[in-house]
Amino acid sequence: MTTLIAVYSSDGCVGRCDANCYLAARGRCSCICGGRNHGCGVQAAMDNTAARVGLERGDLERYAAAHAFKCEELVAVDRTVIQDSRIAREHAYHKINQLDLFA
């Protein structure tokens, strides 16, 4: 199951857009894509992710509000770019805590 977008808090992964969303045959979506990848298939969802669906500030604000988080406590990571889950988690941790990744 390919994760396209993962949402992280300082506690780790708190949500993702994956095959449960883009291969869904019915139901409603509550993931970071806001329903735009729901049931559209893997290629269309990958194209949407490349177009930054689910990765913009507004997407994160909507997700945070729907899931009782504060937006500034979350980071959405494009997992088509950062595929390794450990590296994605570290990247998110540094962004949440505003640590200089290049120090």
Single-letter residue type at 29? C
Residues 6+ apart with CB under 8 A from 35: 28, 29
Is pLDDT above 90 for 33? yes
**pTM: predicted TM-score of the whole model, two decimal places:** 0.89
CA distance from start to end of the chain: 34
pLDDT in the model for residue 1: 62
Q: Domain map of the chain by residue range?
A: 5-96
Burial class for 65, CB neighbours closer than 10 Å (0-12, 13-18, 19+): exposed
Max Cα-Cα span within the chain: 46
Reduced to 3 states, what is the DSSP secondary structure of residue 101?
coil
Instruction: Give 12's strand partners.
Output: 9
Is pLDDT above 60 for 99? no
Q: What is the pLDDT of residues 40-73, one digit of tens each?
A: 999 999 999 999 999 999 999 999 999 999 999 9
